Amino acid sequence: MSEKQGIIREINGPILTIRLPGIRNGEQVKIGELGLFGEVIALKGETALVQSYESTEGVRPGEPVIGLGRPLSVELGPGLLGSIFDGVQRPLDKVLLASGDHIGRGIHLPALDRERLWHFVPEPASEIGSTLSPGQLIGRVQESAIIQHRILVPPDLSGELLELAPEGDYRLDDPIGQLKLSDGRSRKLKLYHNWPVRTPRPYRRRDHGLSPLITGQRILDTFFPLLKGGKSAVPGPFGAGKTVVQQQIARWSNADIVIYVGCGERGNELVDVLETFPQLQDPYSGHRLMERTLLVANTSNMPVVAREASIYVGITMAEYYRDQGYDVVLLADSTSRWAEALREVSGRLGQMPVEDGYPAYLASRLAAFYERAGRVEAQNGATGSVTLIGAVSPPGGDFSEPVTAHTKEIIQTFWALSKELADARHYPAIDWVGSFSEHVATAAQWWHREISPDWQRRRGQALGLLARDAELARIVNLVGPEALSSAQRWELEGAALIKEGVLQQSALDPVDTFASPEKQFLLLEMMLTIYDRGAELIELGISVQELTDLPLMARARRAKQTYSSEQCDQIRTLMEEFRQAFAKIRLEYAKFKEHTQ
């Protein structure tokens, strides 16, 4: 690794002009007496433009700048889980010890703890003298209670295995093996390796997504499903619920690992995760949620340039766990802030803006980022996935703005949040008209196999009822409710049941916050059964009021927060009570009819 020194010529906020012949584009630099972190973003003859990840206040022209000989990279190895890093992978808990409550500048700390001992178990298949291929598994380390960390040959190395350490406790910097490369040189292997964040990690081939990511959120799983390895976006105006949707997925999804990137958002939202996840139980493994979670934090008050880096730092770590055969979910809140960071830098470089000040390469950068999601067969043959879920924060809530518009072209699942629903406190405020999922057919196979062969039909019926509801509401607004027939008024009641009893789901309610697929389907089934049976009665001439006045109706509306996912039988019982009540009404009505005739 060669270090080259040059000098600073100009400082313009986070962008500096330096003179450093021989520096490469993309290379990392240490800036000025303070040793700030930065990266070369353009070369112009002997000068180079550098973006600084830290505030440049106090830096002067003439101060030295040092080229570090490598692009922005992350450390990948055991100890990532449970941590919180900043946008360039500095461990924030260690930074806290080094510089106090406020983040100091020029602090260079390794991402991973060098002192901690890890119990390494070599892979029996890795025999001395055998040839190891890139990404091959050489051993295991129990990283957290649930995650076994698989130690891999770095993706860009291969060769003959000269040595492999026996089972035992090792620090990250201890060599655990040695490879003889094809050029005859030998390379030590450690429990971790580095990887440049802007280079996607290689894999053997892409696979199709097969199973849905279960999030426990009814409107997502039942109405707009996302597959493991899929890409989705959550756009919405401020306060509509993007962060809550993402945090709910971080809590309840059936992924192996969750990486949450707070990109230009609030400090307190990360604290919320940091304080609650160590207490919360993973509904699948029963262990603490924090044991599968990793946070990357570039809060909105941290330097803009590191914001651009933060999502690459996040996705590279996600790919690393994918290569170990895990299903990883990457949540990026918010990709708009990342795009704005791009805009900020391009503006300072004097590049021609095309739309709303964004540079022409916005669309291609977004696409390239989302392309890193997917279900793949890794170099070592394992199958893993990265599911990417990006929040989008359109100015003024206008979905036609460039970031939302371009994102919509790329993703497969679109969870559109609406201000009207949020204002009416219909949460999650996901608008069923503006949202879509291209995964319904694939997800249906899973649902039909695991839960009920009726899933797709019931889903379609519910959406149809909601569409009728919108139509009828328009009529009511023109001519008043009296113009509706009983059957139509019952349709409105049916849609209200779907909205209140199925779609609305409070993240704050201890019971309702998570619904198993079974519970999701039962609630849907119950509301539609009430609607179907009721419609028959209304056809016979029974009044809508008689049905809405049934005390049972309030119980149906409350069922989601009354019965947990473990109490699905009680939902079945309630459904049965409805059947009986309706049958009774039908009988009484028949008697009454007989009597009056």
Partner 1 sequence: MSAREYRTVSSAQGSLLVVRQAPAVAFGDQVLIRDHRNQLRHGQVIRCSEAEALIQVFEGTGDLDLENTWVRFLDQPLEINLAPEILGRIFNGLGKPKDNRPPILSNVRRNVNGSAINPAARTYPREFIQTGISSIDGLNSLVRGQKLPIFSASGLPHNRLAAQIVRQARLVDEESSFSVVFAAMGVSYADARFFQEEFADSGVLGNVVMYINLADDPPVERLALPRVALTAAEYLAFDLDRHVLVVLTDMTNYAEALREVATAKGDVPSRKGYPGYLYSDLAELYERSGRIKDRHGSVTLVPVVTMPSDDITHPIPDLTGYITEGQIVLSRELHNQGVYPPVFISPSLSRLMKDGIGKGDTREDHPRVANQLYALYAKALETRNLAAIIGAEELSERDRRYLRFAEAFDSQFIGQGEDEDRSIIETLNLAWELLSMFPKDMLTRVSETDLARYHRSDK
Ligand X SMILES: Nc1ncnc2c1ncn2[C@@H]1O[C@H](COP(=O)(O)OP(=O)(O)OP(=O)(O)O)[C@@H](O)[C@H]1O
Q: 1, 508, 551, 595: which one contacts ligand X (CB under 6 A)?
A: 508
Asked if 264 is part of the footprint of partner 1 (rule: CB under 8 A), the reply reads yes
Give the span between the Cα atoms of 10 and 334, in whole angstroms: 31
Among the listed ranges 43-51, 299-307, 311-319, 439-447, the one in contact with partner 1 (CB under 8 A) is: 299-307
The answer to whether 238 and 422 have CB atoms below 8 angstroms apart is no
Three-state secondary-structure class, residue 521: helix
Residue 244 interacts with ligand X (CB under 6 A)? yes
Q: With contact defined as beta carbons under 8 Å apart, do 455 and 426 qualify?
A: no
Q: Which residues of 217-245 are buried (b: 16+ CB within 10 A; e: fewer)?
A: bbbbbbbbbbbbbbbbbbbbbeebbbbbb
Residue from the set 23, 179, 227, 240 that interacts with ligand X by CB under 6 A: 240
> First CA to last CA across the chain, in angstroms?
99
Q: For residue 83, is it left (φ>0), alpha (ψ between -120 and 50) or beta?
A: beta
- Answer yes or no whether residue 288 interacts with partner 1 by CB under 8 A: no
Pick from 221, 245, 227: nearest CA to 516 = 221
Q: CA-to-CA distance for 527 and 463, rounded, in angstroms?
A: 13
The H-or-E segment that residue 262 falls in is strand 257-265
232 binds Mg ion (CB under 5 A): no
Taking CB under 6 A as the binding criterion, the range among 3-11, 100-108, 207-215, 504-512 that sits at the site for ligand X is 504-512
Site for ligand X in 374-403 (CB under 6 A): 393
SS3 373: coil
Q: Answer yes or no whether residue 406 interacts with ligand X by CB under 6 A.
A: no
Helix (H/G/I), strand (E/B), else coil: 39: strand
The residues near 508 (Cβ < 8 Å, ≥ 6 apart) are none
Number of C-alpha atoms within 13 angstroms, CB side, residue 383? 9
Residue from 42, 64, 69, 99 that binds partner 1 (CB under 8 A)?
A: 99
Q: Is 365 an interacting residue with respect to partner 1 (CB under 8 A)?
A: no
Please tell me whether residue 507 binds ligand X under the rule CB under 6 A. yes
| Residue 477 interacts with partner 1 (CB under 8 A): yes or no | yes
Q: Which is nearer to partner 1, 157 or 296 (CB)?
A: 296
Query: Could you say which of ligand X, partner 1, Mg ion, none residue 125 binds, taking C-beta under 5 to 8 angstroms by partner kind?
Result: none
**How large is the C-alpha radius of gyration of the chain?**
28
User: Which residue, 107, 77, 78, is CA-closest to 92?
Assistant: 107
Closest approach, Cβ 29 to partner 1, in A, equals 16
Q: Which DSSP symbol is given to 281?
A: B
- Candidate list 211, 243, 253, 346; residue touching Mg ion; CB under 5 A: 243
Pairing of strands 159-164, 177-180: antiparallel
Residue 30 backbone dihedrals phi, psi, to 5 degrees: -110, 125
Count of residues for the chain? 597
> For the window 250-269, what string marks contact with ligand X as x by the rule CB under 6 A?
---------------x----
For the CB of residue 283, give the shortest distance to partner 1 in the complex, in Å. Answer: 20
Residue 506 in contact with ligand X, rule: CB under 6 A: yes
| CA–CA distance, 179 with 130 (Å, rounded to integer) | 10
428 binds ligand X (CB under 6 A): yes
**364: number of Cβ within 10 Å:** 10
* Other CB atoms within 10 Å distance of the CB of residue 351: 15
- Paired with 386 in beta bridges are 328, 374
Work out which of 105, 140, 150, 242 binds ligand X, going by CB under 6 A.
Answer: 242
Residue 427 touching ligand X (CB under 6 A): yes
CB of 19 to partner 1, least distance (A): 10
Binding mask 301-340 for partner 1 (x = CB under 8 A): xx-x--------------------------------x--x
CB of 306 to ligand X, least distance (A): 19
Determine which residue in the list 395, 461, 565, 581 makes contact with partner 1, applying CB under 8 A. Answer: 395
Is the Cα torsion angle 184, 188, 192, 197 positive or negative in sign?
negative
Q: Are the CB atoms for 135 and 152 separated by under 8 Å?
A: yes
The verdict on 561 binding ligand X (CB under 6 A) reads no
- If one asks whether residue 241 binds ligand X (CB under 6 A), the answer comes out as yes
| Binding piece for Mg ion, criterion CB under 5 A, among 239-247, 345-353, 475-483, 540-548 | 239-247
Task: Name which of 317, 327, 368, 147 is nearest 230 in CA terms.
Answer: 327
Residues numbered 337 to 356 that lie near partner 1 (CB under 8 A) are 337, 340, 343-344, 347, 353, 356
Using the contact rule CB under 8 A, the part of the chain among 35-43, 53-61, 148-156, 250-258 near partner 1 is: 53-61
Decide: is 248 part of the binding site for Mg ion (CB under 5 A): no
- Bridge partner list, 430: 417
Tell me, by CB under 6 A, how many residues bind ligand X.
16
Q: Is 546 an interacting residue with respect to partner 1 (CB under 8 A)?
A: no
Residue 423 binding: pick among partner 1, Mg ion, ligand X, none (C-beta 5-8 Å cut-off by kind): partner 1
Provide, rounded to whole angstroms, the least separation between the CB of residue 285 and Mg ion. Answer: 27
Choice from 272, 539, 576, 577 touching partner 1 (CB under 8 A): 272
Tell the smallest beta-carbon distance from residue 460 to ligand X (Å). Answer: 24
User: Which of ligand X, Mg ion, partner 1, none does 241 bind, CB closer than 5 to 8 A by kind?
Assistant: ligand X
The DSSP call for residue 414 is: E
Task: Give the nearer residue to ligand X in terms of CB position, either 244 or 542.
Answer: 244
Write out the residues near ligand X by the rule CB under 6 A: 236, 238-244, 265, 393, 427-428, 505-508
